[in-house]
Amino acid sequence: MRFHEKYYDDVIVIALDGKLIGEPETTQLHNIISSAITAGKCRIVLDLKNVEWMGSIGFGIITGGLMYARSAGGDLRLSGMNKKVAKLLTITKLNCVFLTFKSVNQAILSYQGKTEIPRVDKNDPILIT
């Protein structure tokens, strides 16, 4: 599992690549989310487009991150899930808890109450729609 963090104004996008099923990747993600919130970056988008699979521990980490972000006045939103991960989110009823978006752009804009795509570098791999 690899992680890539990028800031867009007051939103942090954390792109995940691989499988989120156990140690050490779940601890790494927990630490990234906790560090961002501790630093005052409480608006988080998890870009899941390259996540092949997510286990129960992975769902536990992102749910904990959501609760921590909301307690700090922010939120944690999900974008770009594949069908397998989206189905698991539905089966676990977490689709009723998380705000989900097809793209990172939509998730970022949802924090700003906008619907148009922001001006960003077209070569940015995170923001390809």
pLDDT range class, residue 75, cuts 50, 70, 90? very high
**Nearest-CA neighbor of 115 among 127, 105, 129?**
105
Q: Residue 102 carries which DSSP code?
A: S
Query: Domain 2-127 is of which CATH architecture?
Result: 2-Layer Sandwich (3.30)
The pTM score is 0.85
Q: What residues contact residue 45 under an 8 Å CB cut-off, 6+ apart? A: 11, 12, 13, 14, 76, 77, 78, 79, 101, 104, 107, 108
The answer, yes or no, to whether residue 128 has pLDDT greater than 80, is no
pLDDT of the residue at 60: 94
Strand, coil or helix: what is 3? strand
**Nearest-CA neighbor of 71 among 17, 18, 34, 21?**
34
